[in-house]
Each structure stands twice: as C-alpha cells, then as structure tokens.
Amino acid sequence: MIRPAELIQRKRDGEEIADGEIAGLVLGYATGEVPDYQMAAFCMAVYFRGLSSRETFALTDAMIRSGETIDLGAALGRKVVDKHSTGGVGDKTSLAVGPIVAACGVPLGKMSGRGLGHTGGTLDKLESIPGFRTELTIDEFVAQVRDVGVAIIGQTADLVPADKLLYGLRDVTATVDQVSLIAASIMSKKLAAGAHAIVLDVKVGDGAFMKTLEEARALAETMIGLGREAGRQVVCLLTDMDQPLGAAVGNALEVREALETVRGRGPADFTELVLDACARLLALSDLGIDEQEGRRRAESAVGDGSAEAAWRRWIEAQGGDADESALPRAAVVREVTAPADGHVTALGATAIGNAALHLGAGRRTKEDTIDHGVGVVCRAKRGDAVRRGEVIAEIHARDEPAADEGARDVLAAYAIGPDPPHERPVLLEVVY
C-alpha cells in the first residue's frame, strides 16, 4: 500500500522514489484510488524537483502497465513505423505524414494525444471530421493498420489509460513542460502501440514546451534512452516552434491544410517538415531504402495523387466523412491587416496558440468543449515582406465580439520591422 501524501512530500523535498512506489501511484491513479488533487500535487513536485532516469523509466513502465500493449510487428508480420511531436502551434504533421507513408507501402500505427495548454492535439483535429472515431478497439486498430496502412487513435481504457488521465490533468495544472513527464507520456504511448521505428519531432522555441536547443536535446536524449531500453529505433528531429508551423492554427482549419499538403499544395515550411519526416520514416522501414530515396518516394506519392487516395481510405476507415465540405466552418471570418510596410520579423507562436485557444479551439479546463471550426490563419509568416493594409491573418470566430478580441490578440503577435530577420530553417538538428 502506498501513501500518496508521503510520496508527494518526499518528492517535494527532493528525494528519489522507488520503482514500486511510482508504479503504485500511477496504477492507483488509473483505477481512481488516487484522486486528481494528489496526482496534481505530485506532478507539481516533479515539475520542481525532476525525476532521475530510473524514475522516468519506472514512470513510463507503470503508464504502459496501466493498460494493454500491442505487438504490431508480430500482428502484421512486418516492421511498423510511428511518429510523434512534443507539441506545437499549427502542428498538423501527423495528419499529412500518415497517408503519405502509407501510400509508399509502409504501415503507420499511431496513438496520439489531445491539445495541451496553448498547443493543439492531433485527436482534437481529427475529431473535427464528422464521424471520425479516435477510440478504436485494439483489434480494429491492428486490422486497420494492416488493411489500410494507417490508423491514428487515442489513449483508451485499454491502451495507456494512465496517460489519458494524466495528460488531461497536466494540461490544466501547469505541469506540462517537464522533460520526464513529457518523455514518459510520449514514450508510453509509442511503446504500448508497438511500432519498431519511431521519428520524434521535438519542438523548440517560443511556442514549444522546450524553449532552448539544450532543453530540446535533453528531452530527445531521454526519449531515445527510453526507446533503446525497449529495443526500438528512435530518431529525434529538433524543429523550429518560434512561429506557428504552416498557416492554419485551429482544428478543422488544420485538417484542411494537412489535406492540401497531401495534395502538394501546402505551405512551404510545413511541406518541408512533412517530407523530411516521411523520408526518415521510410528509411527506417523495411523497404531497405535510404533517406534520399525515401524523400523521392514521398514526393512522388504526393505528386501522383496516391497520398490523397490513402488519406480518403484512412478517414473513411475510421468512420469519418472524407469530403472536405463536411468540415465545420466558423460563423465569422475577420481579416487582420498590416499596420505598416516592412517585414514580419517575428510571429509569436504562443501568442497565436493562445489566441486560437481563446477563440475556442482548445480547452481552459478539463471539461471545456472545443469549437472545431474556429482558429487563426497566418497569411504572412516570419521573413515575409508586407505592405500597410495587406491581409496578414484571418480570424475564424464564433461571433463578432470573439473576432474583435482574436484580431487584437493576433495583431499583437506580429512584429513588423524595416529589415528581414535572420533565416531560421524549420529543421534545426537531428539527434540519433
């Protein structure tokens, strides 16, 4: 029997907690014996005191053991790949990567999360598609990866239920941005879902949980270590999150942009990241090709329409309406214009993420419901030349007062100066 109050106190005072105690706490939380308020206090103690590698491993292991696990490789008789992002603003990468990789003949099975703080979540984006089911049974998940080549699902009562609960709790208790909690949350999902090769997109900068390259490297190394212990291949891309990725921020808006990218008509920065991630996943797969050939095949799947066909098969297989016109739209669309001639020198990712959150695209409390149609489209990005009065962004809002507030927030996120800023590529570094 563990005593949660005692564990909270020991962690608060900087002590290491034994593996069995961490397991007791996590499994107790998953079964409802440990209440939210004690788990929240424990997460806050971890936020300030951190976890050792051993404790991080024990936490990941306990989260995996809170539910069932899948051996996708054994079920399909071949190597399955997976990708995950640490969370950003406008990050709809998985939505485009899944069907492209599937169109290249490599199965991708993925367990995703919901929005956290000012960042959006893949599941929330997918649920803007009418009818789309994120809660498949394990058998349905395995069958879909085998038959359709791609499936993206949420944590369920069967798969990593502890992460489902903890993720929601951390979101509303300011305990998201902690290396061990992020690493355990992401890697428990990756290891339980059974893929053998995993590409992790570690976001760095203003809109990311990791603000500096050093912090991002530490998170990358922690996750690579957890993967190695479990016998998986893990590659981490450290990518820019000083500004939103692509143009669209908000659930249905991002689904539309991901589909446009699968058709070869996406924004430049987002397209580059998607193709790079696809190239690396294909190189890690059982196709026996290198990254260059992976990139060529990903580009040709986009160019010849096979990626779009895979998108449709995937959405329909999960019960969704693949017709774009079925996606929800906001009642009001307001344009934001440049106040002066010049260049966009910065576009705050957190500020845009928060503007989208306040418009209703994310949750402020665990019980909040999401408005899937609302959000922001950033027409001008860092480095773009703009003229006074030119449209730099669109606010998609549920009503006029919300559009007024959104327009103010988004304008404040733009810095416009006379000179172009230094170029910062979307891919900053790769950690193996």
Catalytic residues: 84, 163, 170, 185, 189
Establish if 349 lies at the interface with ligand URA (CB under 6 A): no
Least distance to ligand URA, CB of residue 174, Å: 13
Burial of 185 (0-12, 13-18, 19+ CB in 10 A): buried
Instruction: Indicate the residue among 43 and 402 with the shorter CB distance to ligand URA.
Output: 43
Instruction: From 6-14, 180-188, 243-251, 365-373, give the range in contact with ligand URA by CB under 6 A.
Output: 180-188
Instruction: Indicate the residue among 138 and 176 with the shorter CB distance to ligand URA.
Output: 176
Binding residue for ligand URA (CB under 6 A) from 34, 186, 235, 236? 186
Binding residue for ligand URA (CB under 6 A) from 182, 187, 200, 310? 182
Instruction: Indicate the residue among 184 and 247 with the shorter CB distance to ligand URA.
Output: 184
Size of the site for ligand URA (CB under 6 A): 8
Least distance to ligand URA, CB of residue 17, Å: 19
Burial of 139 (0-12, 13-18, 19+ CB in 10 A): exposed
Least distance to ligand URA, CB of residue 188, Å: 9
Interface of this chain with ligand URA, residues 72 to 91, rule: CB under 6 A: 86-87
Distance from C-alpha of 203 to C-alpha of 379, rounded to nearest angstrom: 22
Here's the x/- map for ligand URA, 248-277, by CB under 6 A: it reads as ------------------------------
Distance from C-alpha of 82 to C-alpha of 73, rounded to nearest angstrom: 12
Distance from C-alpha of 14 to C-alpha of 46, rounded to nearest angstrom: 9
Distance from C-alpha of 205 to C-alpha of 221, rounded to nearest angstrom: 18
Instruction: Indicate the residue among 113 and 373 with the shorter CB distance to ligand URA.
Output: 113
What DSSP string runs through 360-412?
IIS-SSTTPPP-TT-EEEESS-TT-EE-TT-EEEEEEESSHHHHHHHHHHHHH
Instruction: From 179-187, 317-325, 350-358, 399-407, give the range in contact with ligand URA by CB under 6 A.
Output: 179-187
Instruction: Indicate the residue among 113 and 348 with the shorter CB distance to ligand URA.
Output: 113
Indicate the residue whose CB is closest to ligand URA.
185
Establish if 161 lies at the interface with ligand URA (CB under 6 A): no
Least distance to ligand URA, CB of residue 427, Å: 19
Residue with tokens 């549920």: 398
Least distance to ligand URA, CB of residue 176, Å: 6
Residue 201 host element (H or E)? strand 197-204
Instruction: From 124-132, 178-186, 192-200, 362-370, give the range in contact with ligand URA by CB under 6 A.
Output: 178-186
Helices (H) and strands (E) in the chain, counts: 17, 13
Residue with tokens 């989208």: 356
Establish if 185 lies at the interface with ligand URA (CB under 6 A): yes
For residue 359, give the DSSP letter: I
Establish if 93 lies at the interface with ligand URA (CB under 6 A): no
Instruction: From 22-30, 64-72, 181-189, 335-343, give the range in contact with ligand URA by CB under 6 A.
Output: 181-189
- What is each CA distance from 398 to 130, 196, 333, 406, in whole angstroms? 18, 43, 9, 11
Here's the x/- map for ligand URA, 111-130, by CB under 6 A: it reads as --x--x--------------
CB atoms within 10 A of CB 54: 13
Least distance to ligand URA, CB of residue 181, Å: 6
Spatial neighbors of 296 by CB under 8 A, at least 6 apart, are none
Least distance to ligand URA, CB of residue 341, Å: 39
Distance from C-alpha of 115 to C-alpha of 132, rounded to nearest angstrom: 17
SS3 113: coil
Distance from C-alpha of 36 to C-alpha of 230, rounded to nearest angstrom: 29
Instruction: Indicate the residue among 90 and 113 with the shorter CB distance to ligand URA.
Output: 113
Contact residues for ligand URA, defined by CB under 6 A: 86-87, 113, 116, 181-182, 185-186
